[in-house]
Chains A and B, each alone.
Chain A
């Protein structure tokens, strides 16, 4: 009995003592709307406080330093980091990564997300390591950059030497403007994954390259002569308690987003940067994060209509163009929010615009991207062209060749402006029709091509394509007919060994161009399509409808086939010609219409007024 009582007392006392411990669990939070002053200690990957004076100093880690207050594990499931999670709804197609190889004329949209038209990295032999090495410059970390422990500990890979590419919180949240994403990119190039966050920080330097370390390098037992990257902290930035001040913002400055999300027009006639204001929202003082919001889960609102809620509720629909400016019929958490007008968004009147335009066109069709020209403009983006990394020899013909705006009717039947790229790659076609894409390195090896700077931007000659196809066909170890897809044409050798070029057909889904909707830069209302009247679009020479989209690819000597814009929209070209011509006579038609109405009015008045007189006579008793 006494033993039982003693046990009970022990359990009760344990519960009493553990209660405050439970209450104290969870991240530190202020609960205030005021920005928290991040004067904090930094921790290394082993959760040891960073002493800036220590030699050798360890790189600091976001997975430990930030985790004191923020649920890093939850954040790691956010949109920017979850591409490799196949359970995540991919949503509408977005900007892919671009596998580019100028020597072999390769430009392929890649994505781990299931976006139709993109190809998986592994199809081109890209392992997660290759992927990070190629695209790490603009990867925010996490996801593919942090493979499972068994991969990290596998000495047959370089992961153990380079370390994980952690999520770099400062990449987005640095409000000081001294975080250096380009330096982070350089560190990744030399396999300094573990040191990348530290090197990009405004208070540390990293010397040395992990790429120089042998595959079997073990930091606990370093081989003789192997020197790992060294960290030098700026001790002046740390206080006496080894705390450092980080100027971090929840509302991410637009400038941070632009490192990965810049689009730059490269058409020779393009206006220089100083000649345009950029996005009208940013010019008005807003930030990207004002619309592209998220909670701690970092499920960033992409901001398109019909976006999956992903646990965020229907309030997501109020953060689209239409939801913010016109309100939404959805049932969001707040009825006031459903009315629109977030952040004082003006409600557009759209005077004279038949409402069917609001059903058939996305808001971006009239308000976003470049003004449509005879041909779409050539654009370069951060993800595709590595914008943000200082580089000599940038030119407008750098692969991939991306065109914008191309007006395409999406799956929902709505016409929206897109960026578009025609895939170009080498492969083999089996007798069963199956395709086997070839990695650019394999083609380069087989054809003995050299990846040199000089070939950047120089398209492939037809003779060179013929030669490479011949080399691939002569490889007795491989099966299938080699082909080269570029510029909407399939290049193959016929029985006589001559080059045969065939235009792709709509049935060849795997050869189709990839397009993804664009939303920015948003132009002000005065610069939107239709601001000058209906003939901005409804004219027989309208670029919106009759602009020509060339099937651009890295092939020389041939005029690329073109596809008229109305074909992308699924519109009848003849009808649009008639419709456009009808608008020439429309002002006259309206004039005659109003004349007819005036005459109608006179006729009706002439016969209605005597009737009124008779009526007043009847009421007054006068016959």
Chain B
């Protein structure tokens, strides 16, 4: 027990240290994207407004629904997948009716938006998100002084807690980049929240993964995934959490030639309400 506590304290210290490092890098252009439903614990039959947010430290600007940006926008509940409906140019971006019997998973993929940043801002943004490998690659290619030209893609997931946990939420959805929890976190319980980051279905080693608590921008944990793409966060308190990670790859030659982009970034996020280490009274595993 003591060994476990020691390991958890060590893990927490590592997370806080990494978080402090990330926070110290300062702000550059780089914004997270996540799903923010009107409630993370809807009862059966509850109408849920599904908001999309872009921002930092879990403070986000609303992003109205833009049909041309959406690849997939759906909810998986009660063993079925349904599209999340909504009206274009309207925030919230979608609406759904919660089944409520088990945890529901809302998924969104979209993007393909292009951005070009001056060299210094691009480098600052890469460092802020722990993409030091890309900084080194730009140096190797002699591109450090050139503007950063990238296309970014979004892969957001959100868990709506139901009467019981649903192990289905631990299965990958097949997104290009994805944060996959090892267990349904909406029921809480002792021990860290664990998960994996997958790029094209394969684990990503060394990816910076951060966790943010809603309403407390200073509460930010960061860690790096291990060789199996695994990460763990000893969340210090219950509340709505955002776990996110960004992975960047070199754009292909044709994408470079036809679309004038050098890099493609993939932003994965997962939002959920974690009740805390004591878990939910009466929750069924």
Partners in one complex: no
